[in-house]
Each structure stands twice: as structure tokens, then as C-alpha cells.
Structure 1
């Protein structure tokens, strides 16, 4: 029965009739200019359009939509995990002069650009760049920690110019890391 009803409605629209359901209302119209009252439909000058409006159930559903404000996210590197590969410590310590891993997203950077890379930020804001990068992938960076970082606490950040942009985006691990000897 439902299939028969659906075919009947399609047939009504194909015949130029309106189709009204609880979900939608469809009615055909002609656009174009008629020269005079006796002028007929000409495919070169006129087009048939189907107009669609919400039916009673759809209109009722729109009134029940729950709205909430969402923030637009800006693409930037995200650091999820720092691992000292010598001690296997995660998000705690690092071994100066040894290899470490950063995992996250949008981490890959242009090694030829001195403004991009992996930086250790000291408590006083001084930035020290890691110079020897072994793996430079969007989800993981492997690099040697600068051997000059022997005292203090540091946060790690990745500076990246994302695709089709010259602006540097910064992702920072907001955990203080301490050097181990």
C-alpha cells in the first residue's frame, strides 16, 4: 500500500499536480517569460521547477531542534604525549642529549624554516630549539633533546606553518618536564 501511495504521489507531481504529505509539500511551477496570453511552453525559453516546502511534521520537528553554541576550532598542532626513550618516562622527564618522542596531530614541520620546529621553553620564557630531528611525521616526531638543558623545568612546543599558510601555529604540552642525569 505504501509503495502504491508513493508511486501515486510521484505520478501526481509528474502530471503537474501538487503533492502534500506530513513531511513536505511539492508543487511545480514554470519560470521564463511568455510573450502573450496565447504563447505556449517552449523548452528553450521556459523551465519547470519543483518547489519544496516543509509539511506539518517537519515544521513541528524544526520547532523542537535544540540549539547550542559551538566554537569553531582552528587547526593547530596538538601534543598529546612526550616520551623520554632512554628512561621510558611519559610526560615527566627528559634525558639531555638523548632521543625523545612527541605524539599528537599536525606536528610535521618544515625543517628548513628556522621558525618552525620543536622548542623547549624554560620558566623564564627562553626557547631552545631541538636541532637533530630523526622522524618528522604529522602524528609523531623523534628527535634528540638539546644536551644544554641540564637544569630547570621546561615545556615543549611545536611550531608549524600549516599547509597553504605562512602563519606559524603553536602546540604546547602544558606539563613541566624536568631533565634527568
Structure 2
């Protein structure tokens, strides 16, 4: 069940325009998915399943690296090139051109999305809400993380107590422990800026903000967390 609440749409001039905001969305890591697979019952050991998924991920990555496409029931990929070429004799230049990975849902995911049931909740979430993540070094939005660079996070209810190690900006990998940003450049309710850890391992991460402050920046007894639902890639 996908729960949602309505919040004012600030992107349109009409005063009565509202937009849906997903609420209480559970996010699963690869480790948690493996746990669910084991609970469902299989003759394979957990180590076997983890190893198979590891090899699967490596092979998909190798296919993409080779410039090929992947078409599976889960997802389909296609590569494209952006940037301006100076005449018919010009060639690809990493300084001027970019290879883009385009991913669309496969038949299994499309069928699953079509069957999602929605339930409207009466009250809007008071958790931190992230609308956009910008990698300052590359200038890309909702895409990559440059290790040692600066990340800018915009949204609402984002401010946290930086002196509390349990609060802050966390880079949550698909497997393993979250990594906290130690250096914070800006800490405001609508915008955060921080240094991306230079030792962040290559892989896919989700940005999560954890805070025990309310909208008036007053301390709370319980922790609130808001995770950006788009995966971000930290290069090797």
C-alpha cells in the first residue's frame, strides 16, 4: 500500500494546486532483499544468493561498460551521448560530451507499478523531505556523488543538530553501514551543504537526513529521517 498526503504545489501559480507526497515509504537494501528471499524458502544458502546477485551486478555493469544494452524483465537500459559536436569530423571528447545511462522499467516492474494500491493519509509527514540533490563539482542533479566534493541538498525540515553523531547527512549504500558526512558547510531547514567523504567507496547510495529538530528548530525526543528515493552513484 502506497500511502500519500497532499501538499501545496509551489511550482505552479494556481493557489489550489496540490501535489502528492509519498509517506512512510519503506526502502529495502540488497541485504534486506536477500533476507526476504531466504524467508520465502530456497535450497540455496544465503551466501550462495549473495554471491549470485554480486556476479549478476558485475555482469550487468560489464555489459554497460562495453557499450551494450541490457533488456530484462526488471529493467531495460540504453546509452546516449549528450553534447555538441563541431562538424561531421569531430569525435567524442570527455570534456565536452557525456555518456548517459537511460533506464526504464521492464515488464515485471511495469506490471508491479500498475498494481500498486494508494491510500490517502489525513496528515502530511513531518519528516525531513528531500526534493533535490546536487553534486556541486560535476553540476549534475540527482545523479552522481563526487568523493571529496560538495553536495547540496534542498527540501524542507532538513536542519539537524550537527553536534549529535546520530543526526546529520548519511550516505546509505545498498549493502553495508551508512556513512555520515562529517563536514557541514550549511545547515538550514530548506538547504544543506556538506563535504562528501573522500573515502566513500564506489557504488550506489541513497541520501538520508536524520534529525531530532522540529520545524521550529526545537529539539524532539524521537529521531525523524527522510530518504531521497533516487539512487546516486559514487565513482571509483
TM-score range, shorter-chain basis? 0.5 to 0.7
Task: String of CA shifts for 1:2-43, please: whole Å, max 9, x gaps.
Answer: xxxxxxxxxxxxxxxxxxxxxxxxxxxxxxxxxxxxxxxxxx
1:79 aligned residue: 130
1:11 aligned residue: none
The structure having more radius of gyration, on CA atoms, is 1
1:108 to 149, 159, 166: 159
Give ranges in structure 2 of 5+ residues lacking alignment. 1-119
C-alpha displacement at 1:74, in angstroms? 3.1
Q: Distance in 2 between matches of 1:80 and 1:155?
A: 13
Number of residues of Structure 1 aligned to a counterpart in Structure 2: 113
Structure-2 change in CA distance of 1:70 and 1:99 (3 Å): closer
C-alpha displacement at 1:73, in angstroms? 2.1
- Runs of 4+ with deviation above 6 angstroms: none
Q: Distance in 2 between matches of 1:142 and 1:176?
A: 18
Q: Distance in 2 between matches of 1:76 and 1:149?
A: 26
Q: Distance in 2 between matches of 1:180 and 1:152?
A: 7
Structure 1 residue 118 corresponds to structure 2 residue 173: no
Match runs of 1:1-181 below 5 Å = 70-162=121-213, 163-180=218-235
Give ranges in structure 1 of 5+ residues lacking alignment. 1-68
Q: Distance in 1 between matches of 2:129 and 2:199?
A: 25
CA contact (8 A) 2:203 2:235 kept: no
Task: String of CA shifts for 1:94-136, please: whole Å, max 9, x gaps.
Answer: 1001111000000010011111000000101420000000000
Q: What secondary structure sits across from 1:170 in the alignment?
A: strand
Q: Distance in 1 between matches of 2:221 and 2:165?
A: 13
Q: What secondary structure sits across from 2:230 in the alignment?
A: strand
Q: Distance in 1 between matches of 2:198 and 2:156?
A: 26
- Relative to its length, the structure with more helix (as a share) is 2
Q: Distance in 1 between matches of 2:126 and 2:141?
A: 25
Q: Distance in 1 between matches of 2:138 and 2:121?
A: 41
Q: Distance in 2 between matches of 1:90 and 1:171?
A: 18
TM-score by structure 1 length?
0.59
Task: Kindly report the root-mean-square deviation, in angstroms, between the aligned alpha carbons of the 2 structures.
Answer: 1.4
